[in-house]
């Protein structure tokens, strides 16, 4: 049995955190999980909820999801076109116990799944949980421990926007797991989606803006660690709010390109620096928005050659969104999705998409925008070899 020389049985959380800056320590996720197992003790009910394989696995089993490499070439060489449905992962049955009048539109996810379930060519899948080891690809051990143990301070819960609950933990794990599962499937099937996700405000050491774990950062890092370390990932964030947490987590990672097109005067009011940020003025409509997207994708193509795109298809640039401050029509939103999916199809780049934000004055308008994205994704997925 291999044991780290600096590992001490019975170590405290403080001992663990004092060592987290060690590059050698962070590189080996199995040893990291082994060390964390010594300093955290979860209640039995939480252990059962998270699942036996999810609690700091020493040897995570990814055999059912392993992909040998980015299979663009293999798909092109295939002489038999398989009939593969667009797969979309959902976790809307994990409902948070929010207080009455809470502004987060939890209801939209169930409504969206009801619509999607009626589409031919869509295969709905229960979202898997992301493991603790996978969360640690993008988050600090100290933050993960506080989320799992329910020891977030009132201020930290307020910044997240949700009161802590075991349901919050489980739903957050499954939301991130859905984006990761979609990314792995997209490598062989072209396009796959998450009917939630897009939790781009979560930082390495804290949550924010209704985001607990950063699903895009976790998925990008997990793909590289578990599939192929040479894969280059582009995160194309078209939520109306800048992906500040994603930009911060990945700021020094040249293998992952972060592109954010957002309202310049919208939350977060103190922006991080993405690889490419395009801030739009209040009231920007279809022409300005689509023009900015074409410009952003052109720059992405000139500076970075991704093997995978993680696309945050936020509904909140829509003119009917109460928090968006932009004026993009429903038709403009459809053109936006087409631009991204066409970009991937033209270059045979797999795309994993998530729903991200949407806070319509009428909740159905947000659901309709999300549904339109899925319909567009289905149409393009059918064109991938």
Give the residue from 214, 220, 225 showing the smallest Cα distance to 235.
220
Question: DSSP strand E in 206-350: where?
Answer: 233-237, 256-263, 276-280, 308-312
Give the three-class secondary structure for 349: coil
Total number of domains constituting the chain: 1
Q: Which two tokens stand for residue 91?
A: 């976790």
CB 73 within 8 A of CB 348: no
Verdict on whether the full-model pTM lies above 0.85: no
Q: Is 111 left (phi over 0), alpha (psi -120 to 50) or beta?
A: alpha
Give the integer Cα–Cα distance in Å for 363 and 361: 6
Q: Which residue is listed with tokens 């193509």?
A: 301
Give the residue from 135, 115, 129 showing the smallest Cα distance to 195.
115
Per-10-residue mean pLDDT, the chain, length 385: 33 42 37 40 36 37 36 37 78 74 79 91 93 97 97 96 92 95 96 95 96 97 96 97 96 96 92 96 96 97 96 94 91 97 97 92 90 96 89
- 4, with CB counted inside 10 A (0-12, 13-18, 19+), is middle
pLDDT value at position 40? 42
Q: Which domain does 161 fall in, by range?
A: 64-381
376's CB contacts (< 8 A; 6+ apart) are: 334, 337, 338, 341
- Is the residue at 35 inside a domain? no
Task: Identify the H or E element spanning 25.
Answer: helix 23-27
Give the three-class secondary structure for 310: strand
- Is the residue at 337 inside a domain? yes
- Is the residue at 54 inside a domain? no
- Cis peptide preceding 268, ω within 30 of 0: yes
CATH code, 343:
3.40.800.20
- Is the residue at 125 inside a domain? yes
For 115, other C-beta atoms within 10 Å of its C-beta total 15
């Amino acid at each position: 049995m291999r044991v780290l020389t600096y590992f001490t049985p019975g170590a405290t959380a403080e001992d663990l955190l004092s060592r987290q800056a060690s590059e050698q320590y962070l590189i080996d996720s199995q040893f990291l999980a082994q060390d964390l197992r010594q300093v955290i003790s979860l209640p039995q009910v939480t252990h059962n909820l998270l699942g036996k394989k999810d609690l700091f696995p020493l040897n995570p089993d990814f055999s059912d999801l392993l992909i040998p490499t980015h299979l663009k070439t293999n798909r092109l060489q295939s002489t038999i076109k398989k009939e593969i449905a667009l797969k979309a992962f959902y976790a809307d049955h994990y409902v948070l116990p929010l207080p009455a009048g809470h502004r987060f539109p939890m209801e939209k996810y169930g409504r969206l799944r009801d619509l999607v379930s009626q589409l031919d060519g869509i295969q709905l899948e229960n979202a898997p949980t992301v493991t603790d080891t996978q969360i640690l690809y993008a988050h600090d051990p100290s933050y993960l421990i506080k989320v799992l143990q329910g020891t977030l301070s009132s201020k930290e819960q307020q910044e997240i926007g949700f009161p802590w609950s075991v349901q919050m933990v489980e739903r957050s794990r499954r939301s991130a797991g859905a984006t990761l599962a979609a990314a792995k499937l997209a490598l062989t099937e072209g396009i796959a989606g998450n009917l939630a996700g897009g939790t781009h405000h979560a930082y390495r050491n804290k949550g924010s803006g209704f985001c607990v774990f950063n699903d895009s950062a976790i998925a990008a890092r997990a793909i590289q660690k578990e599939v192929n370390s040479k894969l280059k990932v582009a995160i194309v964030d078209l939520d109306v709010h800048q992906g500040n947490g994603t930009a911060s987590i990945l700021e020094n990672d040249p293998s992952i390109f972060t592109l954010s097109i957002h309202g310049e005067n919208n939350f977060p009011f103190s922006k991080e620096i993405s690889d490419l940020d395009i801030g739009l003025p209040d009231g920007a409509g279809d022409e300005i928005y689509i023009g900015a997207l074409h410009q952003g994708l052109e720059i992405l193509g000139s500076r970075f050659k991704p093997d995978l795109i993680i696309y945050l298809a936020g509904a909140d640039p829509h003119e009917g969104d109460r928090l968006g401050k932009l004026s993009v029509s429903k038709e403009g939103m459809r053109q936006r999705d087409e631009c991204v999916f066409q970009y991937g199809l033209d270059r045979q780049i797999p795309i994993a998409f998530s729903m991200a934000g949407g806070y319509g004055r009428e909740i159905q308008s947000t659901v309709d925008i999300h549904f339109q994205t899925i319909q567009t994704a289905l149409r393009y997925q059918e064109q991938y070899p």
